[in-house]
Amino acid sequence: MAASAVVTWFVARAAVWSYPQGSATIWPIGWVAIAFVVGLGFKPFLDSWRLDRAGARPATDD
């Protein structure tokens, strides 16, 4: 999740670098995209953290 947020920031930064006139529009959209990345990654992160803390292992199809 953190790596995806960093990559999204780099994409926004590259967009600002390539089109500096649009930075007033690109940065807010970039921050919203980062918020979506973190928001969508939070539930899987929380689920895996809870499984790890409980000592449980996910079921496999062995």
Give the tokens for residue 7: 């990559």
Which pLDDT band, with edges at 50, 70 and 90, does 58 fall under?
low
- pLDDT tens for residues 8-52? 999 999 999 999 999 999 999 999 999 999 999 999 889 888 888
| Residue 11 is assigned to a structural domain of this protein | yes
* Angle, vertex CA 48, rays to CA 45 and CA 38, nearest 5: 5
Q: Would you say 33 and 9 are in contact if contact means Cβ atoms under 8 Å apart?
A: no
For the whole model, what pTM was predicted? 0.73
| Residue 7 is assigned to a structural domain of this protein | yes
The number of folded domains in the chain is 1
| Nearest of 37, 41, 28 to residue 8 by alpha carbon | 37
Q: SS3 of 56, please? A: coil
| Residue 59 is assigned to a structural domain of this protein | no
DSSP character at residue 21: G
Domain that holds residue 46: 2-54
| Residue 13 is assigned to a structural domain of this protein | yes
| Residue 42 is assigned to a structural domain of this protein | yes
| Residue 22 is assigned to a structural domain of this protein | yes
